[in-house]
Amino acid sequence: MFSGLFAFVGRIMLALIFIISGAIKLGDPSTTVTALTSVGFPASLALPSILFELVGGVMIALGIFTRIMALIFAAFCLLTALLFHSETADTMQAAMAMKNIAIAGGFLCLFAYEGKSWSLDHYRARKHREADARVAATNDHPATGAG
C-alpha cells in the first residue's frame, strides 16, 4: 500500500547526498580539484563533475529520466569507490568505498523498480497513455455520416 511512498522517499534520500555535496563543492571546488588531480584527471573536470552531482541529484529527486540517471549514478559511485577510495588498508577509505558501493546498489534497485512512483517520469508516461487511449478511442469509433 505504501510502496510508492517508500520508493519516493528512498529516491529523495539517494538524491540528497549528491544535491548537498554538489552544492557544497560548487561553493568551494578546490577539494574536488585536488581529488581529481591526485588520480591523474585534469582540474578542468571539477566543474562538470560538481554540476553532474548537483543537476543529476535534482533529476533523481524529481524523477526525471530516473532509470538512465540511476544507471549513470551507479557507475559514478562504483568509479568513485575504485578511483578515490581504493586504499582499503585505511579504515576510513574502506568505509567510504563501501558507502559508495552501497549507494550504487541503491541506484541499481531504483533502476530495477523503474523509479516511477511520484515522479515526472510517471506523470509523462500517464499523459502518453491517456493520449494513446484517446487516439485509439477515436479510431475505434469513426464518425458515421448519413448520405
The per-residue pLDDT for 7 is 84
**Closest listed residue to residue 103, CA positions, set 23, 21, 44:** 21
pLDDT, tens digit, 9 for 90 and up, residues 34-52: 999 999 999 999 999 999 9
What's the total number of domains in the chain?
Answer: 1
- The residue range of the domain holding 35 is 3-136
pLDDT, tens digit, 9 for 90 and up, residues 70-115: 999 999 999 999 999 999 899 999 999 999 999 999 999 999 886 5
Q: Is there a domain that residue 45 lies in?
A: yes
Determine how many CB atoms are found less than 10 A away from the CB of residue 102: 11
- What is the pTM for the complete model shown? 0.81
More confident: 142 or 118: 118
Q: Is there a domain that residue 94 lies in?
A: yes
